[in-house]
Amino acid sequence: MIVKLSRNDAETRQAVSAALEAMGAEVRCLEFPFGCFLAGLGLENPPLKKIQAMAGVAWARAAGSKPILAAREQNPHGSLVQLGRMEIGGEALALVAGPCSVEDREQIFSTARFVAAYGATALRGGAYKPRTSPYAFQGLGQEGVELLKEAGLEAGLPVVTEVMDPADVATMAPFVDCFQIGARNMSNGPLLKAVGRAGKPVLLKRGPSATLAEFVLAAEYILLEGNAQVILCERGIRTFETATRNTLDLNAVPVLKSMTHLPVVVDPSHGTGRRDAVSPMARAAVAAGADGIVVEVHPDPARARSDGEQSLHLPEFRRLAEELRPVAEAVGRRLDLPETLPFAPNQVPLLRRAPGWGGSR
Amino acid sequence: MIVKLSRNDAETRQAVSAALEAMGAEVRCLEFPFGCFLAGLGLENPPLKKIQAMAGVAWARAAGSKPILAAREQNPHGSLVQLGRMEIGGEALALVAGPCSVEDREQIFSTARFVAAYGATALRGGAYKPRTSPYAFQGLGQEGVELLKEAGLEAGLPVVTEVMDPADVATMAPFVDCFQIGARNMSNGPLLKAVGRAGKPVLLKRGPSATLAEFVLAAEYILLEGNAQVILCERGIRTFETATRNTLDLNAVPVLKSMTHLPVVVDPSHGTGRRDAVSPMARAAVAAGADGIVVEVHPDPARARSDGEQSLHLPEFRRLAEELRPVAEAVGRRLDLPETLPFAPNQVPLLRRAPGWGGSR
Amino acid sequence: MIVKLSRNDAETRQAVSAALEAMGAEVRCLEFPFGCFLAGLGLENPPLKKIQAMAGVAWARAAGSKPILAAREQNPHGSLVQLGRMEIGGEALALVAGPCSVEDREQIFSTARFVAAYGATALRGGAYKPRTSPYAFQGLGQEGVELLKEAGLEAGLPVVTEVMDPADVATMAPFVDCFQIGARNMSNGPLLKAVGRAGKPVLLKRGPSATLAEFVLAAEYILLEGNAQVILCERGIRTFETATRNTLDLNAVPVLKSMTHLPVVVDPSHGTGRRDAVSPMARAAVAAGADGIVVEVHPDPARARSDGEQSLHLPEFRRLAEELRPVAEAVGRRLDLPETLPFAPNQVPLLRRAPGWGGSR
Amino acid sequence: MIVKLSRNDAETRQAVSAALEAMGAEVRCLEFPFGCFLAGLGLENPPLKKIQAMAGVAWARAAGSKPILAAREQNPHGSLVQLGRMEIGGEALALVAGPCSVEDREQIFSTARFVAAYGATALRGGAYKPRTSPYAFQGLGQEGVELLKEAGLEAGLPVVTEVMDPADVATMAPFVDCFQIGARNMSNGPLLKAVGRAGKPVLLKRGPSATLAEFVLAAEYILLEGNAQVILCERGIRTFETATRNTLDLNAVPVLKSMTHLPVVVDPSHGTGRRDAVSPMARAAVAAGADGIVVEVHPDPARARSDGEQSLHLPEFRRLAEELRPVAEAVGRRLDLPETLPFAPNQVPLLRRAPGWGGSR
């Protein structure tokens, strides 16, 4: 059962919690910008009417196979997720860019510097990599996480990186501004719960065979841990089509917007697996109403240790940002690009020395 | 074997045809705006080198499992298909609108009048309807075709309608400006050949389980009959997702553009099956580079005999057109909308009397 | 509306037909082994109660998006379809074998002779071939149909062959014992109606993206023309899996059996596209309750003009038949194999001279 | 790089390991019944020839995107996995039965007792349940694991249960005879590695959108940890079909058998989601060559806390076992069912008192 409070004071919370506990429920208090909720879990036939009649209770609903906390009606104007200096879900679009994998210091620093200069609002990069083959590059692990954060700090960008094991959440947390749950882990309950408890923004990717209803329920797992800072990311589903690596399902954008109040971003790199389709699909995503774009960028895609064929070259990223801007404006959104460009796109200064480290430890 | 001529004169055509026939091939001469080709069919091991050495021959290629005539390289700048006053594939976007089915005179005339006034460039409407159930409304047949043409003439719009049986092509042709091949018939060889021979533009819809490679090969069937006026239409594929009727696959737009020179339009009505997703996905299609939009519009969707839940109300069509215009401009395209609107969108004049008939018979 | 008669006499038929016609319905009288029905088509709100109250009427039902005539309840014990000497759907299993395409006299006669000797109950072979590429071998057409029939007559087997164009039905009919509707044409309404009217058994293949509900509705199209001799054939659906050409969906067997009274056979050749998977999946189909197997066999698969990689060699067909027999018995069915084998499997006598022709014209 | 040793003595292992380490590789020694291997991981361009030339080395291969250790060629006769008294992959079929979830003592003990009496070779039951909704029953956790083991001990059956979090492996291990990796976790690298290191048999379920190639690579993750006791379980893939919960893909059986030496079992309960399809598909799986069946059985499916609609009633399980036996024999396999039945199928004695506990702690 989920209970929405109409009065969020300690007295009400305590009284309702006590009533739920007396019924045998496990009780959680969930305070979100869009309201305060109490979850009473584990009851088979919860006495909704009795709770609903209590003072300070707006409503009480049986929880079942549909999302409640993530449902659009809880926040019809849409939720904002703060990531660095920007609010994802607002008028301005998010532009999350970076390499598939953090490979070495030079690669991640030069990419970070470049994408920051051309309008990225966050830096992405994988350190724990889910790979189909156990023989494929599995990422640099915690070392990669720390390198990414260092590069993000230097470039002034918050960082997003994937976590695969609940046991890694605590170690990674000081270096991570937003945890990514990868597509293969969308239904990984223990992991969803762990990032829910970490209290940081979560970029949740849609599973390759997940329906949109299941996708929103995966987000509900995170919200039920008290964390509403969830960004949904469409990244392609698995279909019979082989011309693209996945079938980027942009229908997800308007449909998710009608189902949930959470921001929705789109990853055309994984969604298509083809460099030549990334920019058209990024433009399409913005036109469909996405709140941002997640895109793979690499200083030398031909030598990338993963996903090279779908990573943009640095100059292509600049062009992408420039192409996205008018589309954003055509649909009443904004893409804030820097006025002055510190260097020519094909002359990205490579890092000569390690910058002073100032992590958030 | 396909032979591209470098000199398109009667003498060359005759000499090469004779050589092909001497080898036992069935020969077809295909004259397109982008070149003159001879197809020599039915040879297992065609002597390419011998033909290639002939005067007036640019090249000769073995035909197999890949498209040749529809391939991008034959016309890298892209082909234009003339439909009414507009060229599909050019700077201006096509806007094909109308009801799923032609139901009666009043319905089709009022829709035609309205969509013409708000920027449609062609009128669509089904008269022969492929339906899953034999008990569902099967369309008005030839009577519907003629009503549609009459409405198009009055509104000044060319008409597009589906043909399902090769035997109907000849009867329908005088009333049809563009034949539609529906998704279920994309692989219907006899039908593709029949519309190929009819010499009119063809709107070819992608089959619900067709790969893009197969889609272009279906177009190749039509080109091989000497007809290059083919418009490809993405209308959604069948996947596991149930929130949408089909999964509109916008990746098809950039990928088809790299594979073929034929114009590509998108049908977000069938592609999503949800009225609330039609406009966002139409905008997305334009942003992805589509050459036009095919959309279902009905004066009273709640009473439509088919596809009501995905048909736009007339005022929604006006809004769609107005929303598409800035997106088109953001990607360097144009949507030509009438300057003056003859009537308020919710006051579409209904037809009181039959207009003078002036079909193209 | 569908009306089931409890009394099938001329008087009742006439009275009910007249009542339906008076309401404006198009009336068809459908006489099947499992009952006599009247279809009253084209009424939006049929007055069921009024018809139901008439003498000789068992029930009247509104026809909509679900099958009525093909539904299991019309014939709970299951329908039999007579093909040659056997009844498909009975205790004995059907074994339909032959090449993908009829290629030449020697190929089809040697195959026919062999498969007949080893237990086939019908001969299959394509003459009109639906091919993805217009450059692929399109079949021998009517000449192939006639060759197939000739080979079937010599071998004592009824023949099954695909029809693609409604216009071909009449020409083919004298030479065809069972029309095949291929997977790509499962939803081809004009073709379903044409074979429905031809009054011969129809082998209806499931479309690659058709749900089972849609598959049974396609059969309903044929029954609504008065023809209940429909055999459903599962032949694989299109999924993301690439290890097999299609995903043979054996779940279809028990699920179809619960939905419809029509016999269900399985084609493991197209369903898997791999010779090494044909026999295991044929055994599995029989164990799941299929009424028969359709299998591609070729005297020289490596040189087959189509589907060579999934065609069995002649000796493999013999082994298949021998392996199927004990599985059939394990599930209470029978596979009748000839007691004596006229020749060793690797010494199939090739045809030296044309046999006397005795078609059924 | 994977190195197969032709001589498995300490000296050879040491010499080759030292050579690999000298190249900078991370070295693992993998001793399997079908040979001893050294994995040298982390090298980009491994000097294969140099290693191959060493004494005691059979071959050295570059590891990439294909399985090596799990590949059929490593053990062409097929591997056996010992589970309780039986060897899965041998002539006798495995029959793994039990409820979806362990719900309470009485439920699991009565089920265990019954399925043991009717031929089950292992007891399944979920304690950690991956559920789409966070509000659905999540299982009894470790308490459920211990109850399951207790019931298995009483009934004389080894137990199989799902693990979802790498952190739970150690706690669960003393009570688990075989870890199950559920379909949603097939690509969960940290979890695959954790069960690989646990040294117990693993029942690995195919992911709902995993190709067979990806499935075998998931098994390779486990083998690369030194654990070759992996049983592959086909349990249905996600397709467009809605008549079944998933599409049980029996093609997986022959195809996996050609790809890998690991045993293959089939779960028709999850694969179809329909009680009426479980037995036909179980028979089909055996006929296709599966090494066993995993099936959900519940004493009162209508009240099951999960998967009730696909769980067999106890008497149905008895019938299933009896129906499977002749099919097994028809394909040269065996299903060992108890000669004497201790009680009538509808009179399963319920547990009155807790049995003496004798876990393997």
Q: Mean pLDDT across the stretch C202-211?
A: 98
pTM: 0.94
Boundaries of every domain in chain B:
2-64, 81-330
Q: What is the pLDDT of residue C347?
A: 54
Confidence band of B344 (pLDDT split at 50, 70, 90): low
The pLDDT > 90 percentage for chain B reads 89
Which residues from B are below 8 Å from D242, CB to CB?
A: 242
The pLDDT > 90 percentage for chain D reads 89
Task: Identify the chains in contact with C, defined as 3+ C-beta pairs within 8 A.
Answer: A, B, D
Q: Mean pLDDT across the stretch D125-129?
A: 97
> Can you tell me whether residue D125 is helix, strand or coil?
coil
The pLDDT > 90 percentage for chain C reads 89
Confidence band of C60 (pLDDT split at 50, 70, 90): very high
Instruction: Please judge whether C327 and D287 are an interchain contact, meaning their C-beta atoms are less than 8 angstroms apart.
Output: yes
Q: What is the pLDDT of residue B343?
A: 56
Q: Mean pLDDT across the stretch C118-138?
A: 96
Find the closest chain D residue to B247 by CA distance.
D240
Q: What is the pLDDT of residue C192?
A: 98
Find the closest chain D residue to C213 by CA distance.
D243
The pLDDT > 90 percentage for chain A reads 89
Find the closest chain A residue to C241 by CA distance.
A240
Q: Mean pLDDT across the stretch C20-38?
A: 96
Residue pairs between chains B and C whose CB atoms are closer than 8 Å: 83
Span C171-184, pLDDT tens digits: 999 999 999 999 99
Find the closest chain B residue to A326 by CA distance.
B330
Instruction: Please judge whether D284 and C288 are an interchain contact, meaning their C-beta atoms are less than 8 angstroms apart.
Output: yes
Q: Mean pLDDT across the stretch C24-49?
A: 94
DSSP character string of B42-70: S-SS--HHHHHTSTTEEEEE--SSS-STT
> Can you tell me whether residue C284 is helix, strand or coil?
helix
Instruction: Please judge whether B327 and A329 are an interchain contact, meaning their C-beta atoms are less than 8 angstroms apart.
Output: no
Q: What is the pLDDT of residue B115?
A: 96
Closest CB to C272 among D212, D244, D251: D251
Kindly give the interhelix angle for B275-288 and B252-259, rounded to the nearest 10 degrees.
40
- Asked if C98 and C112 touch (Cβ cutoff 8 Å), the reply is yes
Q: What is the pLDDT of residue B352?
A: 35
- Asked if B25 and B46 touch (Cβ cutoff 8 Å), the reply is yes
Span A230-279, pLDDT tens digits: 999 999 999 999 999 999 999 999 999 999 999 999 999 999 999 999 99
Report whether pLDDT(C342) > 90. no
Select the more confidently predicted residue: A347 or A299. A299
CA dist., res. D241 & res. D252, Å (int): 18
Query: Looking at this protein, which amino acid is placed at residue C190?
Result: P
Q: What is the pLDDT of residue C360?
A: 29
Find the closest chain D residue to C326 by CA distance.
D330
Find the closest chain A residue to D192 by CA distance.
A134
Kindly give the residue spans of alpha helices, DSSP state H, lying in C246-294: 252-259, 268-272, 275-288
Report whether pLDDT(A328) > 90. yes
Q: In D, what residues contact C, Cβ < 8 A? A: 209, 211-213, 237, 239-244, 247-251, 253-255, 258-259, 271-272, 274, 276-277, 280-281, 283-289, 323, 326-327, 329-331
Q: What is the pLDDT of residue B355?
A: 35
Q: What is the pLDDT of residue B45?
A: 86
Confidence band of C361 (pLDDT split at 50, 70, 90): very low
- Asked if D298 and D111 touch (Cβ cutoff 8 Å), the reply is yes
**Chain D closest-CA separation from residue A3 CA (Å):** 14
Report whether pLDDT(A211) > 60. yes
- Report the candidate in A170, A209, A203, A219 with the shortest Cα–Cα distance to residue A361: A170
Q: Mean pLDDT across the stretch B104-114?
A: 96
Report whether pLDDT(D288) > 80. yes
**Chain D closest-CA separation from residue C315 CA (Å):** 19
Q: Mean pLDDT across the stretch B176-201?
A: 98
Confidence band of D342 (pLDDT split at 50, 70, 90): low
Q: In D, what residues contact B, Cβ < 8 A? A: 238-240, 242
Tokens found for residue C153: 């007559």
Q: Mean pLDDT across the stretch A24-53?
A: 94
Span C158-172, pLDDT tens digits: 999 999 999 999 999
Closest CB to B255 among A237, A244, A249: A244
Mean pLDDT, chain D, integer: 93
DSSP character string of D239-304: -S--SSSSB--TTHHHHHHHHBSS-EEE-HHHHH--HHHHHHHHHHHHHHT-SEEEEEB-S-GGG-
Q: What is the pLDDT of residue C308?
A: 85
Instruction: Please judge whether A255 and B248 are an interchain contact, meaning their C-beta atoms are less than 8 angstroms apart.
Output: no
* Phi, psi dihedral angles at D165 (to 5 degrees): -125, 130
Q: What is the pLDDT of residue C46?
A: 87
Report whether pLDDT(C353) > 50. no
Confidence band of C44 (pLDDT split at 50, 70, 90): confident
Q: Mean pLDDT across the stretch B308-332?
A: 95
Q: Mean pLDDT across the stretch A147-168?
A: 98
Instruction: Please judge whether B238 and D240 are an interchain contact, meaning their C-beta atoms are less than 8 angstroms apart.
Output: yes
Angle ∠(D185,D189,D195) on CA atoms, nearest 5: 80
Instruction: Please judge whether D189 and A66 are an interchain contact, meaning their C-beta atoms are less than 8 angstroms apart.
Output: no
Q: In A, what residues contact C, Cβ < 8 A? A: 238-240, 242
Q: Mean pLDDT across the stretch B89-117?
A: 97
Report whether pLDDT(C344) > 60. no
Find the closest chain C residue to D326 by CA distance.
C330
Tokens found for residue B25: 């091939």
> At the fourth CATH level, which superfamily is domain A81-330?
Aldolase class I (3.20.20.70)
Instruction: Please judge whether C134 and B224 are an interchain contact, meaning their C-beta atoms are less than 8 angstroms apart.
Output: yes
CA dist., res. D187 & res. A134, Å (int): 10
Confidence band of B361 (pLDDT split at 50, 70, 90): very low
Span D41-94, pLDDT tens digits: 998 888 999 999 999 999 999 999 999 999 999 999 999 999 999 999 999 999
Decide: residue B44, CB within 10 A, 0-12 exposed, 13-18 middle, 19+ buried.
exposed
Please report the beta strands in chain A, taking only residues with DSSP state E, as ranges in sequence order.
2-5, 26-32, 35-41, 57-61, 81-83, 86-88, 94-98, 122-124, 159-162, 178-181, 202-205, 230-234, 264-266, 292-296
Look at domain C2-64 and name its CATH class: alpha beta
Please report the beta strands in B55-158, taking only residues with DSSP state E, as ranges in sequence order.
57-61, 81-83, 86-88, 94-98, 122-124
Report whether pLDDT(C108) > 60. yes
Closest CB to A212 among B241, B285, B331: B241
CA dist., res. B251 & res. B358, Å (int): 42
Tokens found for residue B243: 């929130």
Instruction: Please judge whether A272 and B288 are an interchain contact, meaning their C-beta atoms are less than 8 angstroms apart.
Output: no
Report whether pLDDT(C351) > 70. no
